[in-house]
Homo-oligomer: A and B are copies of this chain.
Amino acid sequence: MNISSQSGAFAPLQNDSFIRACLRQATDHTPIWLMRQAGRYLPEYRATRARAGSFMGLATNTDYATEVTLQPIDRYPLDAAILFSDILTVPDAMGLGLSFALGEGPKFAHAVRDEAAVSKLAVPDMDKLRYVFDAVTSIRKALNGRVPLIGFSGSPWTLACYMVEGAGSDDYRLVKTMLYSRPDLMHRILEINADAVALYLNTQIEAGAQAVMIFDSWGGVLADGAFQEFSLAYTTRVLAQLKTDHDGVRIPSIVFTKGGGLWLEEMGALKCDVLGLDWTVNLTRARALVGSSKALQGNIDPNVLFANPAQIEAEVAKALRSFGAPHVGAGTGSTHIFNLGHGISQHTPPEHVASLVQAVHEYSRQMRA
């Protein structure tokens, strides 16, 4: 499909602090955005979702997806927007039948549990994901250059978890049973997923995404050794196929493995620009391990946002000090993008997010003064 032609010319970027920090260039403050920033904690999101009827009704409608993506940008001085979508759109396009039951997580009608089901898998036609690319272009236009737009996908392993389990899981018994007893089948799924994710992200870039993020939400449930073989190797395969430039502009890539802190050194060798970190990781240590080759993104506990503003500010200061002296001046250095260590909770008071963003901007400016 021809995506570039529909994206047309976009407005120039006014706030490039997020992109600069991704590329390890100095900024006058530490940029901040929040995983799941367009979401249920915002009353305006809940209103749009009520109109859309369902989560997928929201995600598959260009106007709604544009509207909710911009809601947090209108409310807070965040430094990036992220496409409103789900990490499971790719297996849905493979024909597995994604649905979201009310109050429950995602479900697939056709879980992939045996050789026959695996043999039917293929990289999906990107036309089936046109609603995503249309949303990317629409959001990029609506942003009008205010902040950059991040596209994203689940990682090959994280997609495989849902594809085999058919839903969320406490123990990953089905997917790990396949991994340990039929590693050949698991590798086949992961190859297809990796190629599909690369194509999906590249098409998002063509549609207007200015950075892309790979969510390896379930990488951290793997054993040492299995992580490297079944998750990291396929993230590497995605990155090898990923566009790093589009229309002459660098497109940064971010890899976030929840629970992956033990493998930071190995992730430091990934061909990406930024590593996302959850709250268990010490930023001083992470910077020492990988900060010379990658920007770091993260990492306070989303539950910090249930404390009062003074305590939120204290935790922000702690995180910024833990990362340490900001990179200033010309050239590249070790840079930090502020975020939570996981998606924001639906129970978060919206005014606490305002305190968070303000604290990050003010304190990080002070550190540079």
Binding site for B on A (CB under 8 A): 171-173, 176-177, 179-181, 220, 222-227, 259, 261-262, 279-282, 300-304, 306-308, 311, 315, 318, 322, 341, 345, 347
User: A187 → chain B, closest Cβ, in Å?
Assistant: 15
The residue from B226, B311, B341 contacting A181, defined by CB atoms under 8 A apart: B311
B181 touches A347 (CB 8 A): no
The residue from B177, B181, B224, B306 contacting A280, defined by CB atoms under 8 A apart: B224
User: A301 → chain B, closest Cβ, in Å?
Assistant: 5
| Chain B: CB-nearest residue to A172 | B303
Complex Cα distance, B308 from A281, in Å, reads 36
The contact sample of 9 A-B pairs, CB cut-off 8 A, is A171-B345, A173-B303, A180-B307, A181-B306, A222-B280, A222-B301, A223-B280, A224-B280, A262-B280
| Chain B: CB-nearest residue to A281 | B224
Report copies per complex.
2
| Chain B: CB-nearest residue to A222 | B280
Complex Cα distance, B304 from A227, in Å, reads 14
| Chain B: CB-nearest residue to A263 | B280
User: A188 → chain B, closest Cβ, in Å?
Assistant: 17
B259 touches A280 (CB 8 A): yes
User: A176 → chain B, closest Cβ, in Å?
Assistant: 4
Knowing A172-B303, A173-B345, A261-B262, say if A224 contacts B180 (CB, 8 Å).
no
The residue from B176, B259, B303 contacting A176, defined by CB atoms under 8 A apart: B303
Residues of B within 8 A of A172 (CB): 303
Complex Cα distance, B304 from A222, in Å, reads 11
Residues of B within 8 A of A300 (CB): 223
A315 touches B262 (CB 8 A): no
User: A205 → chain B, closest Cβ, in Å?
Assistant: 33
Residues of B within 8 A of A311 (CB): 180-181
B306 touches A173 (CB 8 A): yes
Complex Cα distance, B302 from A306, in Å, reads 35
4 A-B pairs with the lowest CB-CB distances in the bound complex, closest first: A176-B303, A180-B307, A223-B279, A177-B306
